[in-house]
Amino acid sequence: MTADPSLLVEDLAFAYPDGHQALFGVDLRVERGERVALLGPNGAGKTTLVLHLNGILTGGRGRVSVAGLPVQKRHLTEVRRRVGIVFQDPDDQLFMPTVGEDVAFGPRNLGLPEPEVAARVDEALRQVGMAGSADRPPHHLSFGQRRRVAVATVLSMHPEVLVLDEPSSNLDPAGRRELAEVLAGLPVTMLMVTHDLPYALQLCPRSVVLDGGVVVADGPTREVLADADLLAAHRLELPYGFDPRTVP
Amino acid sequence: MGAGHGGPLGSAYVARDSVVHRLPAHVSLVAVVGFALVVVATPVRTAWAPAYAGYAVLVLAAAALARVPAARLARGLVVEVPFVVFALLLPLVARGPRVEVLGLSLSEGGLVAAGGLLAKATLSVLAATVLAATTTPQDLVRGLQRLRLPAVLVQILSFMVRYADVVTGELRRMRVARESRGFRGRGPGALRVVAGTAGALFVRSYERGERVHLAMLARGGDGRLPTGPAVAVPARAWLTGLALPLAAGAVLAAGMLGA
């Protein structure tokens, strides 16, 4: 395997066509196998950054590369295989008639032979604890199950990096815990965009804080969350009574 | 869709295990269209009444085989109501020789035409109801795909099946939110609010469409919906499925020879 980091973002700046500038020179390096939380208030540029990782947004200043491969138009298929994004609303992500077909969507786009597609669907559904649900229509699943299937739709592409947009949002406490157990057991590099700071502490040893389109903090999650001044300056707040220093 | 799950589209499906349910969707589709074609091709004359009775026996036998409840069949016939209204008008407006029925002067030709129209519509709707009751919407779309319906149409149908629940769910939440703040859908003033809801729903659905497209691109989508390999259908399934239109065809042929 290469020594290239899973994700390398260098001096990335981007303005939307309407002139709104969302990123002002972001640098981020995520090593292979790391789990990193991307924190920041609404409007900080988190989603804009995420959409650059697989080349859905391009054309600004700076460079992005995934395991050494630059994100450019001619590499788009391979880049999108390497970067698996799980979007916030599973109903946006699950558009095929059945769970199995949805998990197969990515591998089939990669042109894999059918036996390989079937094996990957089985493997991905097992990884998220949804084995045996391949024939069910997505809208018959609970919200937590749909979120886990959404993760499987990306795992089936064997991504280098798993990018999760607000993975714990709208989940009930049990669904939130089940997803955490699934995510903690996955052997992939992970970038998790979240407002759920305890979740970040539970799952990600490292946190990066993005605000105003730049990285304003990058360090061990426990230290970042213990820095009350930093949190206050960037509209981040811990839940009532939560003390990151006393969590095991 | 499975048992116990309603939903705007799934409510037509009656979950059972029967010969008819086990038929591949495209075989069932061909069978129903074939049956409807035979029914439509049958001449409208009084002498043909036994043939129509034969068709009715066939389609009811298929329903019985699939164990579709009679109430479900009756509900299916509701879509026929506009035809019924039109058929009831025919004897009043058609010309030609008149007959007296209950003091009304009715056109003889109109009566026969109305009877034919009603019989054909009812038989075809019954067959379609059996199809809907024995095939899930997802399988129907897949069946159409196997019958080489253009890919764009298949995708539109497929998204409709997938998102019907999501969009009606949104509509329901918007209605609940409206009514929770004291809105009553009465009078012309309510129209403005309902139109606003429709507009908001359109914008939301449009935005969802954009997000779905984004999610597709992120997984290497290129506008096609790749599906798995088609499973070969054994000749026996075709024979079972085509028994309905073939038997109907035999009834029609017998009538032709007899006439």
Pseudo-torsion of CA B24, B151, A104, A49, nearest 10°? -150
In a domain, A146, yes or no: no
DSSP single-letter state for residue A75:
G
8 Å CB contact of A138 and B138: no
Chain B CB within 8 Å of residue A158 CB: no
Q: Which range (A100-109, B29-38, B174-183) has the least confidence?
A: B174-183
8 Å CB contact of B208 and A92: yes
Q: Has residue B3 got a pLDDT over 50?
A: no
Q: Has residue A5 got a pLDDT over 50?
A: yes
In a domain, A111, yes or no: no
Q: Has residue B1 got a pLDDT over 80?
A: no
Q: Which range (A110-114, A131-135, A161-165, B107-111) has the least confidence?
A: B107-111
Name the H helices within chain A: 46-53, 76-82, 90-93, 99-109, 114-127, 143-155, 173-184, 197-203, 221-226, 228-233
* A172 or B184, which is more confident: A172
- Structural domain total, chain A: 1
Distance (Å, rounded) from C-alpha A194 to C-alpha A189? Answer: 16
Per-residue pLDDT, averaged over A207-223, amounts to 96
In a domain, A123, yes or no: no
pLDDT confidence bin for B5, thresholds 50/70/90 = very low
Q: Has residue A31 got a pLDDT over 80?
A: yes
8 Å CB contact of A140 and B162: no
In a domain, A97, yes or no: no
Q: Has residue B19 got a pLDDT over 90?
A: no
Chain B CB within 8 Å of residue A237 CB: no
Closest chain A residue by Cα to residue B216? A93
Q: Has residue B225 got a pLDDT over 90?
A: no
β B98-101/B104-107 pair status: antiparallel
Please, what is the average pLDDT of chain B? 85
Q: Residue B87 in contact with residue B114, Cβ under 8 Å?
A: yes
Question: Which of B140, B145, B219 to substitute to test the interface with A, most A CBs within 10 Å?
Answer: B219
Chain B CB within 8 Å of residue A58 CB: no
Nearest-by-Cβ selection for B215 from A87, A104, A108 = A87
Per DSSP, what are the bridge partners of residue B43?
none
Q: What percent of chain A has pLDDT over 90?
A: 81
Chain B CB within 8 Å of residue A113 CB: no
The CATH number for A61's domain is: 3.40.50.300
Per-residue pLDDT, averaged over B22-46, amounts to 92
Q: What is the pLDDT of residue A19?
A: 87
Domain locations along chain B:
10-143+233-258, 160-218
In a domain, A28, yes or no: yes
Question: What are A95's two structure tokens?
Answer: 């558009």
Nearest-by-Cβ selection for A56 from B141, B218, B222 = B218
Distance (Å, rounded) from C-alpha B225 to C-alpha A104? Answer: 10
Residue type, A161: V
Nearest-by-Cβ selection for B138 from A83, A137, A153 = A137
Per-residue pLDDT, averaged over B152-181, amounts to 84
pLDDT confidence bin for A50, thresholds 50/70/90 = very high
Q: Residue A155 in contact with residue A186, Cβ under 8 Å?
A: yes
Global pTM value: 0.78
CB atoms inside a 10 Å sphere around CB A245: 8
Q: Has residue B181 got a pLDDT over 80?
A: no
Nearest-by-Cβ selection for B211 from A89, A105, A110 = A89
pLDDT confidence bin for A218, thresholds 50/70/90 = very high
Please, what is the average pLDDT of chain A? 93
Pseudo-torsion of CA B97, B101, B105, B107, nearest 10°? -40
Region label for A207, one of left (φ > 0), alpha (ψ between -120 and 50) or beta (otherwise):
beta
Q: Has residue A52 got a pLDDT over 70?
A: yes
Complex ipTM value:
0.74
Q: For residue A69, which phi and psi values (nearest 5 degrees)?
A: -95, 120
pLDDT of A178-210, one tens digit each?
999 999 999 999 999 999 999 999 999 999 999
Residues of chain B found within 8 Å of residue A138, distances taken between Cβ atoms:
162
Residue A180 domain boundaries: 7-88+157-233
Closest chain A residue by Cα to residue B158? A97
